[in-house]
Structure 1
Amino acid sequence: MKQPFVSLEQLQEIVRQHPTPFHLYDEKGIRENARALYKAFSWNPGFREYFAVKATPNPQILKILKEEGCGTDCSSLTELMMAQRCGFHGEEIMFSSNDTPAEEFHLAQELGATINLDDITHVDFLKNTLGYIPKRISCRYNPGGTFTLGASEEGFQVMDNPGDAKYGMTRPQMTEAFRRLKELGAEEFGIHAFLASNTISNDYYPALAAILFRMAVELKEETGCHITFINLSGGIGVPYRPDQPANDIAIIGEGVRKAYEEILVPAGMGDVAIYTELGRFMLAPYGCLVTRVLHEKHIYKDYIGVDACAANLMRPAMYGSYHHITVMGKENQPCDHKYDVTGSLCENNDKFAIDRMLPKIDIGDLLVIHDTGAHGHAMGYQYNGRLRSAEVLLQPDGSTRLIRRAETPEDYFATAIWD
C-alpha cells in the first residue's frame, strides 16, 4: 500500500498556510534518493546525474539537486537559462534537443554545456551556427526496431518502440557523425540513447548499457575517436501502482558495473564516465498533488469533484496514467466505494481516476494524489482559465516553504494585448 510522505495532521497545518490545490515535495526523500543513486554508481569516478529539468523545473528543487552533486539536462533555451540562474555551468549542463533553433545552440555553447546532437544534419548546422565544432560533443543513438526485455524477476516485461521515435541517429549515421565531427576538430566524444520509458525492471539499465558499451568499442575502432562518456539517459521508472515493485538502484548500478567491466575495460576504455538523466526516478515519488473535495455527484456513476484539475496534473487525462489516491485520515478504511475523481475542466477526460475503489469520501476531505513530483506541475497549463497551482517544499525539520506561488488572474491576463 502506498503511504503519503505527510500525515493528515501535518497536511491540515500546511493547508492553513497554503490553499489547495498545490504540489508538495519531500526534501528529505529527494536528498536520500540522490545519495542512493550516487552510491550505486560510486564505482565510476566520473559518474554524474544530469537531472531532466523538464520533469520539475523549479529553481529550489534544482538547487537541492545541485547540492547533491547533480547537473542538469536541458532541452530548450528557457531551461538553459534556468540552469544558468541556478548556478549550473560548463560540464554541469547537458543540452539534448531536437529541431533545435540556432539561438539555443549559441546559448548552450556560451554556457559551456555539453551539446548532444540529435541528427546527422545537425553536425553541419552546428558548425555553420557557431563557426566551429566544440572540442567536447555527444551524439544521440536510435537503434530502431522494437526494444524488448523479457519478463524480469519482478514479472514485468519492458517493451518500447524506438523505431517510431523521432529522436537520434541510426547506427551508420553514428559512425559518419563521429568521423565528420573529428574532422571538424572535436576531441572528446559522448554517446547518448534512450530506448524505453518508465521501466519497472532492474534489468533495463544494464541491458541498455551493454548495447551502448559495445557500440562505443565499435565506434572507437571504426573512427579512432576518444569516447570519454556514455549517457544512459532516463527510463528507470517508478511504481505508480501499489502492486508494482520499486526498482533497486543498487542492483541496477551493479548490473551496469558488470557490463562495464566485461565490455569496456578489456577494450582499454576503463576511463569512460557514466552519466544518467533520471527525472522521473529522482523526483516522482517525492511529490504529490494535494486537493480538497468540493462536490459529490450521483448520476449514472458516482463522481467526486475536487479543486484540482488536469491543468494541475495532465498525465491521467493525456495518457490515461494511473496515479494512486489516498483519502487522508481514511487510510485504514475499506475501499468499498467506486468513484470517478474529477476536475472542473470542460473536458470529459479531466479525471484523476476512473472506477477507482476508495473509502467513502465526504465533502471537505483532503486527497493526496501520489507520484506527481516529475511531469506534474511542469506540464500545467491554463485551459478554461484554470491557473497553475503553488508548489510547496516540506523540509526535513517538518516545516514548509513556498517555492512557487500560485498563479493569479493577473498572470493569466499579463500577456494579452488589450488595446
Structure 2
Amino acid sequence: MKRPFVTKEQLEALTQQFPTPLHLYDENGIRQTARKLKAAFAWNPGFREYFAVKATPNPAILKILREEGCGTDCSSLTELMLADKCGFSGQEIMFSSNDTPAEDFRLAHKLGAIINLDDFTHIDFLKETIGTIPETISCRFNPGGVFTLGASAEGFQVMDTPGDSKYGFTREQLFEGFKKLKAMGAKRFGIHAFLASNTLSNEYYPTLAGILFRLAVELEQETGCDICFINLSGGVGIPYKPDQPANDIAAIGEGVRRQFEEILVPAGMGDVALCTELGRFLLGPNGCLVTKVLHFKHTYKEYVGVDACAANLMRPAMYGAYHHITVAGKEDAPCDHKYDVTGGLCENNDKFAVDRMLPEVELGDLLVIHDTGAHGFSMGYNYNGKLRSAEVLLQSDGTARLIRRAETPEDYFATLTFEE
C-alpha cells in the first residue's frame, strides 16, 4: 500500500496558501534517501552522487542535496548555470551532454566541470572550442546490442537496446579515443555508461559495474591511461506500483563492492572512485503532484476531471506510465469505483489514470499523484496555453515553503512580440 508523505490536514492547510495544482517535495525523505545511498557506497572513499539536474531543476532541492554531499550532473548551458548559482563548482559538476553546442563546452570548462564526452568527434570539437583538452576527462561507452535483465519498475522485463541509442562511443572508438586524448594532454580518465532505465532489480548496478570494471582494466592495460573514476550513471528505479518491491540500495552497493574487489582490486585499480547519477531514485518517491477534483463526466466511462493536466506531469501521456493515486483522507476506504482521471488538455491522452479503481471521489477532493519528484515538473510545458504549477517544499520542521511560484499569464506572454 502506497501512502502519501503528507496528510489530508496538511494538504488542506497548504493548498489554502498555495493553490492547486502544485508539485510538493518532502525534505526529510530526500535527506534520508541521500544518506542511504551514501552509506551503501561508503566502502568506496571517492564515491560521489552526481544528481541529474534534469530530474528536478530547483535551487532549493539542489542545495539540500549539496548539503548531503552530492554533486550535479548537467546536460545543458542553463543546467550548468543553475549548478553554479547553487554553489557547485569544479569537479562537483559532471557535464554529460550530447550534440553539444560550443558555448556549453566553454562554460563547463570555465566552471572546472568534469566533461563527459558523448562522441569520438567531440574530442577535436572540444579542443577547437576551448583550445585545450582538460587534464581530467571522461567518455561515455555504448556497448551496442541488447541488454537484458530482470524486471523494470513498470513491470516489464528490462531489455534496453544500447545499439539503438544515440549515446556514447563504440568499444573501438573508446580505445582509440583514450589514446588520442592522452596524446592531447589528458592525464586522468573516467568512463560512463547507461544500459537500462528505471530497473527494479538489485542486480542491475552490479551487472553494469562488472561490465565497466572489466572494460576499465582492459583500457588501462592497453592504452596506459590512468582511469581514476567510473560513473555507473542512473537506471536504479523506483516502484511506481504499490505491489512492486523497492530496490535495496544497501544490497546494490554490496553487489557493486563484490565486483570491485573481484575485478579492479586484483588489477591494481583499487583506488578508482565510483560515481552515480540517481535522480529518480533520490527524488521520485519524495515528490507528488497535488490536484483538485473539478468535474465529473458520465458518458461511456466515468471520468474524474482535475485541475492538473499532462502539462504538469507528462509521463502518463508520453509513456503510458503508471502513477499511483491517493484520494486524500480516503487512504483506507475501499477502492470500489472505476474512473479515468483526466486533465483539461485538448488531447485524448491527457489521462493520469485509465480504468483505475479508487474510493468514491467527490467534487473538491484532493488527489495525490505519487512519485512525481523526478521528471515531473521538469518535463512540463505550455501546450494549450497551460501554465506551469508552483513547487512547494515540505520542510523538515513540518512547514511548507514556496520554492517556485506558479506561472502567470504575464509569464506566458513575456517572450512574445506583437505588432503595434
TM-score tier after normalising by the smaller chain length: over 0.9
Partner of 1:291: 291
Cα distance, 1:132 vs structure 2: 1.0
1:249 maps to 2:256? no
Partner of 1:237: 237
Q: Counterparts of 1:202 and 1:150 in 2: how far apart (Å)?
A: 9
Cα distance, 1:130 vs structure 2: 1.2
Partner of 2:109: 109
What amino acid is aligned across from residue 310 of structure 1 in structure 2?
A
Cα distance, 1:337 vs structure 2: 0.8
Partner of 1:173: 173
Partner secondary structure for residue 172 of structure 1: helix
Note if contact 1:96-1:116 (Cα within 8 Å) is conserved in structure 2.
yes
Q: Counterparts of 1:188 and 1:333 in 2: how far apart (Å)?
A: 58
What amino acid is aligned across from residue 279 of structure 1 in structure 2?
G
Note if contact 1:311-1:380 (Cα within 8 Å) is conserved in structure 2.
yes
Partner of 2:59: 59
Once the two structures are superposed, what CA deviation does each residue of 1:362-383 show, in whole Å capped at 9, x if it has no partner? Answer: 1110000000000000001011
1:161 maps to 2:164? no
Q: Counterparts of 1:100 and 1:158 in 2: how far apart (Å)?
A: 29
Partner of 1:40: 40
Cα distance, 1:246 vs structure 2: 0.3
What amino acid is aligned across from residue 190 of structure 2 in structure 1?
G
1:3 maps to 2:3? yes
Cα distance, 1:156 vs structure 2: 6.9
Partner of 1:358: 358
What amino acid is aligned across from residue 326 of structure 1 in structure 2?
T
Partner of 1:227: 227
Question: Mind listing any 5+ residue stretches in structure 1 that lack a counterpart?
Answer: none
Q: Counterparts of 2:135 and 2:357 in 1: how far apart (Å)?
A: 57
Aligned-residue Cα RMSD (Å) equals 1.0
Once the two structures are superposed, what CA deviation does each residue of 1:35-85 show, in whole Å capped at 9, x if it has no partner? Answer: 000000000000000000000000000000000000000000000000000
Partner secondary structure for residue 115 of structure 2: strand
Partner of 1:281: 281
* Total equivalences in the alignment: 417
1:333 maps to 2:333? yes
Cα distance, 1:224 vs structure 2: 0.2
Note if contact 1:192-1:233 (Cα within 8 Å) is conserved in structure 2.
yes
Partner secondary structure for residue 35 of structure 1: helix
Q: Counterparts of 1:149 and 1:398 in 2: how far apart (Å)?
A: 40
Q: Counterparts of 1:86 and 1:393 in 2: how far apart (Å)?
A: 17
What amino acid is aligned across from residue 134 of structure 1 in structure 2?
P
Once the two structures are superposed, what CA deviation does each residue of 1:237-265 show, in whole Å capped at 9, x if it has no partner? Answer: 00000011000000000000000000000
What amino acid is aligned across from residue 101 of structure 1 in structure 2?
P
Cα distance, 1:128 vs structure 2: 1.1
Cα distance, 1:335 vs structure 2: 0.9
Note if contact 1:158-1:204 (Cα within 8 Å) is conserved in structure 2.
no
Partner of 1:28: 28
Cα distance, 1:334 vs structure 2: 1.1
Partner secondary structure for residue 2 of structure 1: coil
Once the two structures are superposed, what CA deviation does each residue of 1:124-172 show, in whole Å capped at 9, x if it has no partner? Answer: 11111111100000000000111012469xx974321111110001111
Partner of 1:346: 346
1:18 maps to 2:4? no
Change (3 A) 1:79 1:178: same
What amino acid is aligned across from residue 215 of structure 2 in structure 1?
M
Partner secondary structure for residue 100 of structure 1: coil
Partner secondary structure for residue 345 of structure 1: coil
What amino acid is aligned across from residue 378 of structure 1 in structure 2?
S
Q: Counterparts of 1:386 and 1:44 in 2: how far apart (Å)?
A: 46
Moved over 3 A (4+): none
Q: Counterparts of 1:261 and 1:398 in 2: how far apart (Å)?
A: 43
Partner of 1:199: 199
Note if contact 1:156-1:201 (Cα within 8 Å) is conserved in structure 2.
no
Partner of 1:76: 76
Q: TM-score, normalised by structure 1?
A: 0.98
Note if contact 1:391-1:402 (Cα within 8 Å) is conserved in structure 2.
yes
What amino acid is aligned across from residue 37 of structure 1 in structure 2?
L
